[in-house]
């Protein structure tokens, strides 16, 4: 096997099915040599064992588990990303949320061709309706490809911070740190299927990403895969919000819906990849 050009980093927390989908997709559509490093943040042992067992079929995948990890939520995720970044020794690095994957054939070559000394990072923004200034011209860490030498130069810290009432979430430094060092960022086009139902994932709620000049969906982010997307079904836009807010039964219904949508989302990913294999 040739020396990898890319290291793909993924944090797992009870999201084995999503990550196994990503591994399957990448194997079929990645042009350059790559390796994958997965850090498990003390998931339920059943989830971790499933991920470990099924990832063994890939010779380029390394998975390790951090037990007795007392952090949760955004802080746990940020600490894990920092740890993974320190393990990258290839020219390029990729960070994926566990439930986000790229889906276009030769995704790696396409993104690398967008990278240069002025623009060392490209990837996914937050949902377009958030009004978040961080995403206006720089990507967030849901799915990004970057020049690793630049990432080391700017020394990003992915841990969130709390300053009084102001909470700054995972990856808040990306835009400011890159700009301080004279760099710019590029973002993929983003659609939320909550508002735009025209794409392949339009039957349920997630994000779709598109690369300029290409009609095929470039990638997708299910959104909060570790809890099966519960939050998006409780949003003010959800027509069934009151039903899901019922004690006990509401949580059960949310889990069942989340499981069904996870299965459907993965199937759409598989179909998009399959449609390109003979192109």
- Is the residue at 240 inside a domain? no
**Quick check: is 274 in a domain?**
no
- Indicate yes or no: pTM above 0.75: yes
Q: Is residue 76 part of a domain?
A: yes
**Helices of type H across the chain:** 16-29, 45-55, 73-85, 107-112, 148-154, 173-180, 230-233, 241-244, 249-276
Within 116-267, strands assigned E span 121-123, 143-147, 161-163, 166-168, 185-187, 189-192, 207-210, 219-221
Total number of domains in the chain: 1
What's the CATH code of the domain at 136?
3.90.550.10
Residue 105 lies in a domain: yes
227 in a structural domain: no
pLDDT band at 151; cut points 50, 70, 90: very high
At residue 198 the predicted structure's pLDDT band, cuts being 50, 70 and 90, is: very high
Query: What per-residue confidence (pLDDT) applies to 273?
Result: 97
- 132 versus 218: the higher-pLDDT residue is 218
Question: What is the mean pLDDT of the segment spanning 109-120?
Answer: 97
234, part of any domain = no
- Structural domain boundaries enclosing 44: 6-222
What percent of the chain has a predicted confidence (pLDDT) above 90?
69
Does 208 score more than 70 pLDDT? yes
């Amino acid at each position: 096997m040739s020396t990898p050009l890319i290291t793909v980093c993924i944090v797992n927390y009870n999201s084995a099915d999503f990550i196994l989908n990503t591994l399957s997709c990448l194997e079929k559509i990645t042009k350059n040599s790559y390796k994958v490093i997965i850090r498990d943040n003390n998931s339920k042992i059943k989830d971790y064992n499933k991920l470990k067992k099924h990832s063994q079929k890939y010779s380029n995948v390394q998975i390790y588990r951090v037990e007795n990890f007392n952090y949760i939520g955004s802080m746990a995720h940020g600490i894990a990303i920092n740890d993974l970044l320190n393990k990258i020794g290839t020219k390029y690095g990729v960070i994926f949320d566990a439930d986000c994957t790229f889906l276009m054939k030769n995704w790696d070559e396409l993104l690398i061709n967008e990278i240069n000394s002025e623009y060392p990072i490209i990837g996914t923004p937050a949902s377009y309706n958030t009004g978040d200034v961080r995403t206006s011209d720089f990507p967030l860490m849901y799915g990004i490809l970057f020049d690793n030498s630049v990432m080391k130069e700017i020394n990003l810290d992915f841990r969130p911070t709390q300053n009084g009432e102001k909470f700054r979430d995972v990856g808040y430094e990306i835009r400011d740190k890159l700009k301080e060092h004279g760099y710019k960022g590029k973002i993929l086009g983003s659609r939320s299927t909550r508002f735009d139902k025209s794409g392949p994932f339009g039957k349920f709620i997630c994000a779709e990403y598109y690369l300029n000049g290409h009609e095929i969906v470039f990638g997708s982010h299910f959104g909060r895969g570790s809890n099966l997307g519960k939050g998006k079904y409780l949003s003010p836009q959800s027509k069934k919000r009151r039903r899901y807010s019922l004690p006990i039964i509401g949580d059960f219904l949310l889990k069942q819906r989340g499981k069904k949508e996870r299965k459907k989302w993965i199937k759409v990913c598989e179909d998009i990849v399959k449609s390109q294999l003979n192109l």
